[in-house]
Amino acid sequence: MIENCIGKSGRVLQGLDELLMKGAKQCLHQIGVWAYLGSDRRPWRFGYEDYRTLYLEKVIKNSGLLETFRTSKPLPAGHGFRLDARAVEIPWVLARVAQGRGRLLDAGSSLNRDFVLEAPSLSSKKITIVTLAPEAVCYWKLGISYIFGDLRSLDFRDEWFDMIVCISTIEHVGMDNSMYTGRKESLSASSTEEFLIAVKELRRVLKREGILYITFPFGQYEDHGWFQQFDSQLTDNLIEEFRPSNLNETVFRYDPDGWKLSERASCIHAEYFDVQRSKYFDPNSSVEYPPDFPAGERAVMCLELCK
């Protein structure tokens, strides 16, 4: 009897601790949002990620806006103002992934947020996340499986997944990922082409008629060391390696007033603003934000490739 009471008390106290912790996190999150909105709204300053999270939550809950993404209609004015490409990539994926059961692979862990994983198009799926390094927050209670590995050598059997999502990850394959893993990598001279090995692996583990949803920064070719921005040639190389039976290509462009639906030809000269090389991250730099205040990429390619 006493042991039973102690056990129940312990569970109650644990529940209270979890509620208090959740409340504290929500309070800090709200403070971050207020701080960001009360500032010049420079990307990546204090509160930026809190605001981006709040913004994405609202977008995902807006069925009308998701339908706009699904049908490739023009986005509303000001969409994703001074936000990075997640403001279009994640809604684009959630709008196109069919609801219902199935095995889904998140190659790169870009979906690893509770409000994303609980979205209607994902909530009933068996999701596996592959990433190079442990995540600070994991959603085991939602049934998510986590595997640490390299996309160039996946530990899954052939044709295992019904769909694969790879959001802004393929551009990092074969590049210097030390900022994510905490260890310096030895890169080969051909590292910028190793993403094709990953594409081949993604195709291998995808079922016949399965779909790969893949996105990456697009424009003129740029090698930033920790990632490369794809141009038209690399994009075509990726498509050729995958050999899709059907292809849908969507391009979004960042303008000073937000993200807009665009097309490949209009974005071939887009430049990436690498904030890591600015004075806000590098004390030896004098690089300031450009007048349009991009958070990074100025164009993003979104490909829906059917095997």
Q: What is the CATH number of the domain that holds 59?
A: 3.40.50.150
pLDDT of residue 193: 87
**What is the per-residue pLDDT for 29?**
77
pLDDT exceeds cutoff 80 at 199: yes
Domain that holds residue 21: 1-38
Residues 267 and 285 reside in one and the same domain: yes
Whether 140 and 201 share a structural domain: yes
For 269-302, write each residue's pLDDT tens digit. 999 999 999 999 999 999 999 999 999 999 999 9
Three-state SS string over the chain comes to: CHHHHHHHHHHHHHHHHHHHHHHHHHHHHHHHHHHHHCCCCCCCCCCHHHHHHHHHHHHHCCHHHHHHHHCCCCCCCCCCCCCCCHHHHHHHHHHHCCCCCCEEEEECCCCCCHHHHCCCCCCCCEEEEEECCCCCCCCHHHCCEEEECECCECCCCCCCEEEEEEECCHHHCCCCCHHHHCCCCCCCCCHHHCHHHHHHHHHHHEEEEEEEEEEEEECCCEECCCCEEECHHHHHHHHHHHCCCEEEEEEEEEECCEEEEECHHHHCCCCCCCHHHCCCCCCCCCCCCCCCCCCCCCEEEEEEEEC
pLDDT of residue 24: 61
The reply to whether 126 and 273 lie within a common domain is yes
Same domain, 26 and 167: no
Do 90 and 15 lie in a common domain? no
Residues 63, 29 share a domain:
no
pLDDT 10s digits, 229-251 = 999 999 999 999 999 999 999 99
Does position 136 have pLDDT exceeding 90, yes or no?
no
**Count of domains in the chain?**
2
Query: Bigger pLDDT: 182 or 16?
Result: 182
pTM of the model: 0.89
